[in-house]
Amino acid sequence: MTRVTFFAFFILLQTLGQEVKFENFSVNNGLSNNSVKDIENDNNGGLWVATWDGLNYFDGYSFKIFKNDIDDKNTIAGNFIAKIKKDGKGRIWILTEDFKVSRYIGNKKFKNYSFKEKPIDISISNNENIIIYTKNNCYEFIEGQFKNRPTHLPNDKNVRLKNILFTKYPNLVINDVLKDKTGNIWYATRKNGLFIIRNKLNKSNKYHIENYLKDPYSLTSFNSNEIETLHEDVFGNIWLGAKDGGISMAYTNSDKILSIAPHPIDTPNIPNETLRAITKDIHGKLWLGYYTKGLYSYNADSKNYKKFAIKEAKEQPDWKRIRTLFTASDGTIWAGTYAGIIRIRKNGEYILYDATKTANFPNNRNYSIYEDTNKHLWIACWGGVAKFNLNSNKFESYKGQHLLEKYHVRDVSFIDNELILATENNGLRLFDVHKDKLQTIPVKKGLSNFHKEDKSVTSVVTI
């Protein structure tokens, strides 16, 4: 199974940016050339990519490149690949720009076919056989050989779909049209990027036309406005092949996927620095915590992200150094910082907890928060673990708490009366809060984020 299978499961965040998100592949990822003419799937889900300089096969991890070798008759017939087609038996056929035809036969080898006239097009018959068109003849591959059939060049099956867009944009040059499995229509244009007509009516009972252009500020935009070809793979992802832009994949259901990134127009308020923490409140609103720039939350009125002001941060900048965010069951937002804990109520008011002024709160530097079934919050500190009782609304001590004060805890989880602690320099620790018992968890080889040299664990997950 190829990596392509898993592309549909990418999880991204919510924002105001482009609705459709793309992952891009270029010569920097191993593609032989950034100008792409055609794309086709094989039966294993891998992609065959036609470029101006070689045929590429992408298995989801890396590209394999096939080029012509004049000394080897089993190589592809040419390097400028014009079209790729897959017949009913899953065989891959290639038409090169110098009017030659090749079929991939496996094991990095090709079978090449000659015709009295130069092939000018390639398509699939109603019987799912490959058809080769020349200027005056037409050949269908039947029972292992090409046979003459009535001559006619293939009709443009997408004329009606093109006319839908031409009605509003008559001067567009459309290179390719694709109607996907859900009924959306995608248009690849020569200079105007990508157009999409969604298979749903808007409030005015009309179809809405979306236009996407290359966005140099976005990491999830495609790389060229001159799109040559469109392809829907077996997993429902849409691929774009562009001139000088490589290939781009639109994530499945990406109309529901959005991302957060600094942008001079769409998100001008977002800091251009490391995003350290994220949570969603009980109303579904996102909260963002930044490395040194503090807290931001989505504002429905301005349709942008607004900084959450902490007046004490003017005197103590560490209140803006966010390390963790958590939404508790009572609806409050908890932010762990280098100066202590910020607790934000549903009405927007906030409370600050300072370890130097708060009993049973061991340290102001906080990295993780976990809520157990008894409405107790367990807070990973740079020197112990704090327990906050949402029922009594205060920090409480627990048996053996002093045993944890020597540990810098990066992450905390709780299961069956036991705390699971990911520590700095001391690996994993298991602590029974009822039996006052602390033990080391054996770490198996290959455990993610564990380094033998420094014995640091950055996160733990309970299932």
Q: Is the pLDDT of residue 144 over 80?
A: yes
How is residue 51 written in tokens? 């470029």
Give residue 321's pLDDT band: very low, low, confident or very high (50, 70, 90).
very high
One-letter amino acid at 235 equals F
Of all residues in the chain, what percent carry a pLDDT higher than 90? Answer: 51
Distance between CA atoms of residues 359 and 401, nearest Å: 12
Distance between CA atoms of residues 9 and 74, nearest Å: 38
The pTM of the full predicted model, rounded to 2 decimals, is 0.55
pLDDT in tens, 409-455: 999 988 777 888 888 888 888 888 877 777 766 544 333 343 334 45
Instruction: Output the CA–CA distances (angstroms, integers) from residue 447 to 169, 267, 442, 456, in the order listed.
Output: 55, 38, 10, 11
State the average pLDDT for the chain: 84
What is the pLDDT averaged over residues 47-72? 94
Side-chain-side CA neighbours of residue 142 (13 Å): 9
What is the pLDDT averaged over residues 153-162? 75
Instruction: Output the CA–CA distances (angstroms, integers) from residue 389 to 290, 354, 372, in the order listed.
Output: 27, 16, 10
Asked if 104 and 89 touch (Cβ cutoff 8 Å), the reply is no
Residue environment code for 407-429, b if the CB has 16+ CB neighbours within 10 A, otherwise e? bbbbbbbbeeebbbbbbbebbbb
What is the pLDDT averaged over residues 73-89? 95
Return the top range by mean pLDDT from 26-30, 200-204, 205-209, 299-303: 26-30
What is the pLDDT averaged over residues 51-65? 93
Distance between CA atoms of residues 362 and 291, nearest Å: 22
Q: How do strand 121-124 and strand 384-389 relate by DSSP bridges?
A: unpaired
The count of other CB atoms within 10 Å of the CB of residue 438 is 15
* Lowest-confidence region among 4-13, 165-174, 298-307: 4-13
**If we measure between CA atoms, which residue out of 149, 154, 69 comes closest to residue 110?**
69
In the chain, what is the straight-line distance between the N-terminal and C-terminal CA atoms, in Å? 26
So what's the pLDDT on residue 152?
67
How much is the CA Rg of the chain, to the nearest whole Å?
29
Distance between CA atoms of residues 115 and 97, nearest Å: 15
Q: Which is more confident, 49 or 127?
A: 49
Instruction: Output the CA–CA distances (angstroms, integers) from residue 37 to 33, 78, 146, 250, in the order listed.
Output: 11, 14, 25, 18
Per the listing, tokens 């001391």 go with: 426
Q: Which residues contact 225 (CB under 8 A, 6 or more apart)?
A: 189, 191, 192, 193, 213, 214
How is residue 175 written in tokens? 């290179």
Give the neighbor-by-neighbor strand order of the sheet with 47-51: 36-41, 47-51, 54-58, 63-66
Alpha helices in 284-363 (DSSP H): none
Give residue 458's pLDDT band: very low, low, confident or very high (50, 70, 90).
low
Give residue 276's pLDDT band: very low, low, confident or very high (50, 70, 90).
confident
- DSSP characters for 158-211? THHHHHHHHTT-TT--EEEEEE-TTS-EEEEESSS-EEEEEEEE-TTSSEEEEE
The dihedral through the CA atoms of 135, 141, 142, 147 has a sign that is: positive
Give residue 202's pLDDT band: very low, low, confident or very high (50, 70, 90).
low
Distance between CA atoms of residues 198 and 172, nearest Å: 19
